[in-house]
Structure 1
Amino acid sequence: MSTSQTRYGTPGTKSAEYDYLIVGAGFAGSVLAERLARGLGKRVLIIDRRPHIGGNAYDFHNDDGLLVHKYGPHIFHTNSEKVFQYLSHFTSWRPYEHRVLAQVDGMLVPMPINLTTLRMLYGGEFSEDEAVRFLAARAEQLPEIHTSEDVVVSTVGRELYEKFFRGYTRKQWGLDPSELDKSVTARVPARTSIDDRYFTDSIQCMPLHGYTRMFDSMLDHPNITVATGTAFKDIPASVKYDHLIYCGPIDEFFDYRYGKLPYRSLDFRHVTLDQSQFQPAAVVNYPGEDVPHTRITEYKYLTGQQHRKTSITYEIPSSEGDPYYPVPRPENFERFRKYQELGDASSSVTFVGRLATYRYYNMDQVVAQALTVYARIAERETKQQRPYKSIVAAA
């Protein structure tokens, strides 16, 4: 069912009753809406303040007919057969293995660092054993690993850290890697093989017709009413519901009682070019601080679309704008814990998703979290335990 149909819009002033109000129509909210409606027969109103469903995974056809990801590239990958099988009810798939290049020393080299990267940068035919010894000789021996800088220099040494990570991280986060939690760069390992895939998950693919089509199918149920362009504060008092599932920023929900939780944002600059191809891979990273963007994405690699033109997106990190990445520093996690305590004490609200739990999750992790929350709700419904006790998703 398309987003132009009448079940999408702003709730009117007429009295309406629902079992659940879900705030946020991204992965967390949409999975829960589908499961509650189809699995338990519940009446669900799901809202989103943006003018569309799908959250950050929303894609659309631009004026030239090219399928574009509005909020940057979203690549589906998972090791969870359960998550994959669940989403497969709502989409077919096309195989896709993501590859990334980085502009370093005037060359485009594979990222994460692998044998090919080392061969291009340093010359010679590195074997796997030679690459292990090469990196070990450059790795710094540190007594403890605390920061993102520590992770990289203790693995590949300071030279490769400077080439690939320091500038990129400083642009992405507005902080030096020495100021960031070790989790930031732990997500991007180095390899001593020729495997140039960005991800190594057992399942890697893309929704055949795009993410928005998948969300449309997920929310296509008579018990689900979708209202886009609608903020939580705009819901009229005449709309009644038994329980709230909140997938938005938890600090906003509690009126910033302990101050705002810091996020990094992104400015996406979409450009359509009158040529069939722009770059030799789906994503090219730009670690250098001489350019403001961190990467350029070319979507035809992701979608498999055949078109005489191509669409690319420059990503420019920002401290202002929509919240995308929680800033991983101890003081921020401590502030979140205070909000989490308020959430634990709120029996009428369930907090789910990235913004509600102040964590960066991959798409499959958000789906898994939502399915886990649904299982808890279903168990309580089956046992008919009332009233609700708050269900705060594990962070």
Structure 2
Amino acid sequence: MFDWLVVGAGFAGCVLAERLATQRGERVLIVDRRPHIGGNAYDRYNEDGLLIHEYGPHIFHTNSDMVLSYLSQFTTWRDYTHRVLAEVDGQRVPIPINRTTVNRLYGLSLGTDEEMEAWLAARAEPAERIETSEDVVVSKVGRELYEKFFRGYTRKQWGLDPSELDKSVTARVPTRTDTDDRYFADKHQVMPEHGYTRMFQAMVAHPNITVMVQADYRDIRHLIPHRRVIYSGQIDEFFDFRFGRLPYRSLRFDHVTLDTPRHQNVAVVNYPQTEDFTRVTEYKYLTGQEHAKTAITYEYPTADGDPYYPVPRPENQERYGLYEALARATPDVWFVGRLATYRYYNMDQVVGQALATFRRIDEKLPREDRARAAGRSWNGAVAEMPAVP
């Protein structure tokens, strides 16, 4: 008998498994359909010995001291400041748009924040109501920069025009009047020194935690006794698509090794105007690895495949609300993570959500005597069970 069945071995599942095992002394089984732990943040060494992110670049950034402190129990960090270029009009310029971007594109010499603000204000098209992703961008930078940087990229990424998407999509990307070319402005910008997979392995290396990969929750839920469930998969799937499917956007990755030490000047180059792929990532910038070769990934958004991004449209949120009501009425199941709560969360936000969920669980459920007396000895190994045939 397991105290908890945790569905999904990504950030949400592993954080909660670790907390339940170490803080409450409870027995946890983690199951995941994939052949590995780590969810979409899983990284691995390819055949050439280069560390790559199997599901595209994952850059850790957060303003939360608490989240960073928690994860620091399981990894050391290397400082990394993420920078992105966009190939626009035959040039590679910084994104998010800043003063350097505008000066290079238009051959200008704007020298102050005030000059940049005035230049943008002359082109902005203010809207009475900001409802869509198009509204967000056009009201800030005008239609020309919107067409150059956002419209084509968004259509490739989401399969929809920005005018059809919630304002939250493009609101994630700021516009700057200075020359700050960092992609993120968070207080903490770091990468796990030995990769995400090593961090996850440390997180679940506890004798109270058993990991079962290549296993579908639906196949084993009636076979393995358990008392309660943490669910981080698709919420619509959990309820057998009772109200119809929630739309998700997927990705396809083309991983390539090149016989050269460097391929591009930054980790990521976006392609808003040309190409079928949205971006190219070179991992050595992220990992700090020294190697004679380099690994890159071409990223192609698709309509089919593993779910990555909830599609932010009002009708989808309305449908999710029906599933959310079911979730609240389902006893002994906690729904956590991007897919289970149909939100476009960053990694640190998922960790924060999982830690908050643990606090609610701990307040609601009394700890058993054996939990209070649980040992804290670690054997350093991840207990793994084979997939159920």
Aligned to 1:4: none
Residues 236, 111 of structure 1: alpha-carbon distance in 2 compared, 3 angstrom cutoff:
closer
CA shift at 1:111, angstroms?
0.3
CA shift at 1:381, angstroms?
3.0
Aligned to 2:151: 166
Aligned to 1:133: 118
Residues 236, 173 of structure 1: alpha-carbon distance in 2 compared, 3 angstrom cutoff:
closer
Q: Deviations over 1:206-227 (max 9, x none)?
A: 0000000000000000000000
CA distance in 1, matches of 2:47, 2:182: 32
2:74 touches 2:202 (CA, 8 Å); kept in 1? yes
Partner residue of 1:261 out of 243, 246, 252: 246
CA shift at 1:237, angstroms?
3.5
Residues 236, 186 of structure 1: alpha-carbon distance in 2 compared, 3 angstrom cutoff:
closer
Question: Which residue identity does 2:58 align to in structure 1?
Answer: H
2:126 touches 2:140 (CA, 8 Å); kept in 1? no
Superposition RMSD on alpha carbons, in Å?
0.9
- TM-score, normalised by the number of residues in structure 2: 0.93
CA shift at 1:383, angstroms?
7.5
Aligned to 1:120: 104
Partner residue of 1:240 out of 203, 210, 225: 225
In structure 2, runs of 5+ residues without a counterpart are 369-389
Q: Deviations over 1:318-345 (max 9, x none)?
A: 0000000111100000000001111111
What are the equivalent positions in structure 2 for 1:1-395 lying under 5 Å apart? 17-127=1-111, 128-235=113-220, 237-288=222-273, 290-382=274-366
CA distance in 1, matches of 2:110, 2:366: 60
Question: Which residue identity does 1:86 align to in structure 2?
Answer: Y
Q: Deviations over 1:103-137 (max 9, x none)?
A: 00100000000111011011132122110000000
CA shift at 1:154, angstroms?
0.3
CA distance in 2, matches of 1:345, 1:382: 20
Residues 355, 236 of structure 1: alpha-carbon distance in 2 compared, 3 angstrom cutoff:
closer
CA distance in 1, matches of 2:222, 2:262: 52
Question: Which residue identity does 2:164 align to in structure 1?
Answer: E
In structure 1, runs of 5+ residues without a counterpart are 1-16, 385-395
CA distance in 1, matches of 2:107, 2:27: 63
CA distance in 2, matches of 1:204, 1:317: 26
Q: Deviations over 1:359-394 (max 9, x none)?
A: 01000000000000001111123478xxxxxxxxxx
CA distance in 1, matches of 2:223, 2:216: 15
Question: Which residue identity does 1:88 align to in structure 2?
Answer: S
CA shift at 1:35, angstroms?
0.2
